[in-house]
């Protein structure tokens, strides 16, 4: 018989009761989906088998099909079995809380409240203790996983060193030493296999370490630390020996290549002697297995090769620059300066002194550039910039006097401002600037001032002119001479 719903009862449902019914329905639906998933036993069994095989590959264990099938069967035998929870004070407290209304009617409210309070205190203390144990357990799990990862890295390093092509190129004594060290290291790492199979079987320790066995795992891990330390040292020493051997071989090849190139260039005797000396010393350092010394000689030989190349370029530049200077110089001072620099450079060519030859060539380049310059020195006359200033300065006799300066700049035929190297008479420092102050007599300063006040424009603004072939500009403004300059105001 179908039970009829009482409409009056349905209408009496309040909002809380209705929502509780919805929660129950949702929970039932979720449980049904979970049961459906768990009951698909065949797919789950296959997935477990794959995971077991993958784990065995990582740990290097050999598992038979029978062993895998047995492990999966044992897993499912206990998967859905129910274990009666341990009955302790917490269990009893939960039962009291569920029956709190009935017990309150029977024994009264005060005793019940006292009992619940005592239970809450016990559960709080118990929770803190449980959390502490879990924290300690997790710390051990992390430590074991870290150790597992380090062991894997050390295994890889020992394999890399063992398979290095440079092992067989070592001298007999060092080769025997490396092989012995690697063998010792591998034995130590292999001896750790039972520990990690028990506590970190698939690279993670969460499933293998429990609250019951984590103290034992912690103690066993501590006992492995000495073996880990020794293994690290053995692997590092072997790595250093291999790296040294590799470095010696590559450096020897580099020395051979460099000396071959240098000999092919057929340089001056001075360069040949330097190169042959560096090469012979470098080879000797390799025979003594002194890698650092051999690399220094490799760098020295590379430096000789660079010097040979630069020497050729500098020699060619010396001749070209000297020819240009002779052709362009229009005053005796410029010609004499060019001759002096050329003679100096030729001395360095004869002695194959590349560094000093480089400096001489740089001075020739500066002279050539100066002689080719053409510009006018003019008073600055534009908005926001002063055209002149007066200020105190200390003269050559140490006397404090007033100085008058006009602010000038150098410009080429296209009105491009040319930076100039100016020596500041107040501090003796030379700076490259676009504007500077040229010291002039007071009457010149006043004349320029009146010229600008007349209509805001300095009509007579050219101080001097630099022509091609000359070292410096020629002063054209009346009353102006090279008395001194400043670079800041």
Could you tell me if 221 and 359 lie in one domain?
no
Q: How far apart are CA 415 and CA 241, in angstroms?
A: 67
Of 43-57, 389-403, 451-465, highest mean pLDDT:
451-465
Pair (248, 183) in one structural domain = yes
Q: How many CB atoms lie within 10 A of CB 488?
A: 10
Residues 71 and 142 in one domain: no
Residue 291 placed within a domain: no
Helix/strand number for the chain, H first, E second = 15, 9
Per-range mean pLDDT, top range of 35-39, 90-94, 120-124, 232-236: 232-236
The residues near 372 (Cβ < 8 Å, ≥ 6 apart) are 328, 468
Both 368 and 381 in one domain: the answer is no
Q: What is the pLDDT of residues 412-435, one digit of tens each?
A: 999 999 999 999 988 889 999 999
Whether residues 144 and 231 fall in one domain: yes
Whether residues 123 and 256 share a domain: the answer is yes
Phi, psi of 464 (to 5 degrees): -160, 175
The answer to whether position 384 is within a domain reads yes
Residue 409 has pLDDT above 80, yes or no: yes
> Which of 11-25, 41-55, 384-398, 416-430 has the weakest average pLDDT?
11-25
Would you say 262 and 274 are in contact if contact means Cβ atoms under 8 Å apart?
A: no
Radius of gyration of the chain (CA): 47
Residue 408 near residue 380, CB atoms below 8 Å = yes
pLDDT reading at 410 higher than 80: yes
* pLDDT the model gives residue 210: 92
Q: What is the mean pLDDT of residues 373-393?
A: 89
In the predicted structure, residue 58 carries a pLDDT above the cut 70: no
Is residue 319 located within the same domain as residue 234? no
- Segment 331-340 shows an average pLDDT of 96
How is residue 14 annotated by DSSP? Answer: -
Q: Which of 354, 372, 390 is the last residue of a domain?
A: 372
Q: Is residue 278 part of a domain?
A: no
4 in any annotated domain: no
Residues belonging to the chain? 489
pLDDT in tens, 260-298: 999 999 999 999 999 999 999 999 999 999 999 999 999
More confident residue, 142 or 120: 142
- Domain boundary at 356, 372, 388, which? 372
Q: Which of 124-128, 135-139, 435-439 has the lowest mean pLDDT?
A: 124-128
Give mean pLDDT, residues 51-73: 66
In a domain, 298, yes or no: no
Supply the pLDDT for residue 456.
Answer: 80
Angle of the 291-328 helix axis to the 332-351 helix axis, nearest 10: 150
What are the residues whose beta carbons fall under 8 Å from the beta carbon of 352, sequence distance 6 or more?
268, 270, 271, 307, 311
Which positions ≥6 away from 423 have C-beta within 8 Å? 429, 430, 485
Integer Cα distance of 63 and 78 in angstroms? 22
From 204, 230, 265, the end of a domain falls on 265
- Quick one: average pLDDT of 11-24? 49
Confidence band, pLDDT 50/70/90 cuts, at residue 320: very high
Instruction: List, in sequence order, every residue forming a beta bridge with 421; answer none if it has no partner.
Output: 432
pLDDT, mean over the chain: 83
Q: What percent of the chain has pLDDT over 90?
A: 61
pLDDT at 51 over 60: yes
Say what the pLDDT of residue 425 is. Answer: 87
**In-domain check, residue 12:** no
Give the C-alpha separation, 470 to 92, whole Å: 112
| Arithmetic mean of pLDDT, 145-174 | 92
- Same domain for 173 and 189? yes
209 and 74: one domain? no
* pLDDT(88) > 80: no
Give me 121's structure tokens: 């205190």
The answer on 244 and 102 residing in a single domain is yes
Note the pLDDT tens digit of each residue in 98-126.
565 565 566 555 654 555 555 554 445 55
Assign 324 a pLDDT band (cuts: 50, 70, 90): very high
What is d(CA 412, CA 392) in angstroms, rounded to the nearest whole number? 32
Could you give the CA distance from residue 210 to residue 466 in angstroms, rounded to a whole number?
A: 93
Q: Is the per-residue pLDDT at 322 higher than 60?
A: yes
Number of domains in the chain: 4
Do the beta carbons of residue 264 and residue 271 sit within 8 Å? no
User: What pLDDT score does 124 carry?
Assistant: 53
Q: How confident is the model at residue 337 (pLDDT cuts 50, 70, 90)?
A: very high
pLDDT higher than 50, residue 393: yes
Is 248 in the same domain as 326? no
Higher pLDDT residue, 311 or 47?
311
In a domain, 2, yes or no: no
pLDDT surpassing 80 at residue 483: yes
Q: What percentage of the chain exceeds 70 in pLDDT?
A: 74
Q: How far apart are CA 487 and CA 436, in angstroms?
A: 5
pLDDT at residue 331, rounded to an integer: 95
Q: Do 355 and 442 share a domain, yes or no?
A: no
Q: What is the pLDDT, as a whole number, of residue 100?
A: 59
104 in any annotated domain: yes
Structural domain that includes position 62: 39-78
Mean pLDDT, to the nearest integer, of 366-374?
96
Q: Which of 20-29, 268-277, 436-445 shows the lowest per-residue confidence on average (mean pLDDT)? A: 20-29
């Amino acid at each position: 018989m179908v039970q009829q719903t009482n409409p009056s009862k349905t209408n009496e449902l309040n909002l809380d009761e209705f929502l509780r019914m919805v929660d129950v329905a949702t929970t039932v639906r979720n449980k049904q989906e979970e049961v459906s998933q768990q009951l698909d036993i065949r797919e789950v069994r296959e997935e477990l088998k794959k995971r077991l095989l993958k784990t065995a590959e990582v740990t290097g264990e050999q598992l038979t099909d029978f062993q895998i099938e047995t492990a999966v069967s044992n897993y499912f035998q206990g998967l859905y079995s129910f274990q009666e929870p341990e009955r302790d004070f917490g269990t009893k407290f939960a039962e009291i809380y569920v029956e709190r209304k009935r017990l309150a009617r029977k024994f009264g409210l005060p005793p019940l409240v006292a009992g619940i309070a005592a239970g809450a205190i016990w559960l709080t203390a118990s929770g803190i203790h449980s959390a502490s144990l879990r924290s300690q357990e997790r710390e051990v799990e992390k430590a074991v996983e870290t150790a597992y990862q380090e062991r894997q890295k050390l295994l890889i390093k020992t394999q890399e060193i063992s398979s290095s092509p440079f092992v067989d190129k070592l001298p007999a004594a060092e080769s025997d030493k490396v092989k012995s060290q690697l063998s010792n290291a591998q034995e130590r790492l292999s001896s750790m296999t039972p520990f990690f199979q028990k506590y970190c079987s698939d690279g993670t320790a969460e499933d293998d370490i429990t609250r019951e066995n984590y103290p034992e795992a912690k103690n066993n891990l501590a006992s492995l630390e000495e073996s880990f330390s020794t293994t690290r040292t053995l692997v590092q020493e072997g790595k250093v020996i291999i790296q040294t051997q590799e470095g010696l071989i590559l450096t020897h090849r580099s020395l051979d290549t460099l000396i071959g190139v240098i000999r092919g260039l057929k340089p001056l005797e001075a360069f040949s002697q330097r190169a042959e000396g560096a090469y012979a010393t470098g080879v000797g350092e390799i025979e003594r297995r002194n890698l650092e010394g051999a690399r220094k000689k490799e760098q020295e030989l590379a430096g000789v090769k660079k010097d040979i190349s630069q020497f050729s370029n500098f020699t060619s530049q010396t001749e070209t620059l000297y020819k240009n200077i002779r052709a362009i110089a229009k005053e005796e001072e410029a010609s004499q300066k060019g001759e002096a620099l050329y003679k100096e450079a030729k001395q360095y060519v004869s002695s194959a002194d590349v560094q000093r030859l480089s400096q001489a060539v740089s001075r020739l380049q500066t002279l050539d550039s100066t002689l080719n310059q053409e510009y006018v020195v003019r008073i600055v006359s534009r908005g926001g910039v002063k055209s002149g200033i007066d200020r105190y300065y200390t003269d050559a006799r140490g006397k404090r006097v007033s100085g008058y300066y006009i602010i000038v700049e150098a410009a080429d035929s296209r009105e491009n401002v040319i930076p100039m190297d100016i020596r500041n008479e107040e501090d003796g420092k030379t700076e490259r600037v676009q504007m500077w102050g040229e010291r002039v007599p007071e009457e010149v300063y006043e004349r320029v001032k009146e010229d600008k006040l007349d209509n805001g424009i300095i009509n007579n603004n050219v101080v001097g002119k630099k022509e091609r072939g000359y070292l410096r500009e020629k002063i054209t403004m009346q009353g102006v001479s090279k008395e001194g300059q400043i670079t800041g105001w």
